Amino acid sequence: NYPEALNNLSAAFREKGMLDSALQCCESAIRFNSKYVPSHINLGQILLQNGSAQDAKRSFQNALNLDPFNALNHFNLGNALQKLKEFEPAINSYKKAIEIDPALTDAHNNLAICWHAIGEIDHAISALKKVLAIEPRYPGASHLLDALSGVQTVAAPSDYIESLFDKYAETFETSLVEELKYTTPQMVLDLLKSSRGDKRIGTVLDLGCGTGLVGKALENRCERIVGVDLSRNMLEKAQKK
């Protein structure tokens, strides 16, 4: 019946990717003390990570009702709204976060993303310039600013790609397979079958392996497969396969 310990245990489970255990601990913490703000924040982050943005929105709103002058509470609510593609309410949440803490670079960055999503490019550019004014090496901000300003670059910087796909790892397969109908792993497997029949191949190097979809498709067709990716979170998903 110790909410602080239950909340911390929940955070530890979440860090390990054990979301069901994290959720149970967090819900227990809230049952013991419904006014303990960190548990509502933690619950919202678990739900957001688990793809339940609508429920996360309610949790972050609960935290905000209990502590309305906390910039991170407004920021977290903005994240849930952004995930739900409720971009204008998200913009309002990020603006409120920035009013309380003008140096909150993540809020400026996400504000830029929302402005871009609704076609307000000038506002997006302005927000990115504020990000870089506060934190010149903020991951990806320079690249996004170049993209929106029409400045061509040879390639996106690796820190931008790493940050982007670390955030994308949880929903990557759902988006790729179910929404975009990604079939490359099956195409590779079919190509091997047509060219080599039932013969196994030796070592496969999968560059940009993501969550390991190609590795899963070829697991019975090769002696060994090595996956390489810039995103640590993607690699953890691949490792579990």
pLDDT at 184: 92
- SS3 of the chain: helix, strand, coil, percent, to 5: 70, 5, 25
Residues in a beta bridge with 226: 205
Using the 8-state DSSP alphabet, how is residue 203 labeled? E
Please provide the average confidence, as pLDDT, over all residues in the chain: 92
Q: Which helix (H) or strand (E) holds 55?
A: helix 53-66
What backbone torsions phi and psi does residue 51 show, to the nearest 5 degrees?
A: 85, 10
How sure is the predictor about 37, in pLDDT bands with cuts at 50, 70 and 90? very high
pLDDT tens track for 15-31: 888 889 999 999 999 99
Whole-Å CA distances, 153 to 147, 161, 164, 183: 8, 14, 18, 30
Cα–Cα distance, 46 to 53 (Å, whole number): 10
How sure is the predictor about 88, in pLDDT bands with cuts at 50, 70 and 90? very high
pTM: 0.77
| 97 and 107 Cβ atoms separated by less than 8 Å | yes
pLDDT at 69: 95
Q: What percentage of the chain exceeds 70 in pLDDT?
A: 100
pLDDT at 131: 96
Cα–Cα distance, 217 to 42 (Å, whole number): 36
Residues in a beta bridge with 206: 227
Average pLDDT rounded to a whole number, residues 87-94: 97
Cα–Cα distance, 231 to 218 (Å, whole number): 21
Q: Which residue has the higher pLDDT, 167 or 37?
A: 37
* Strands of 106-235, DSSP E: 201-207, 222-228
pLDDT at 81: 96
pLDDT tens track for 112-170: 999 999 999 999 999 999 999 999 988 889 999 999 999 988 888 888 888 888 888 87
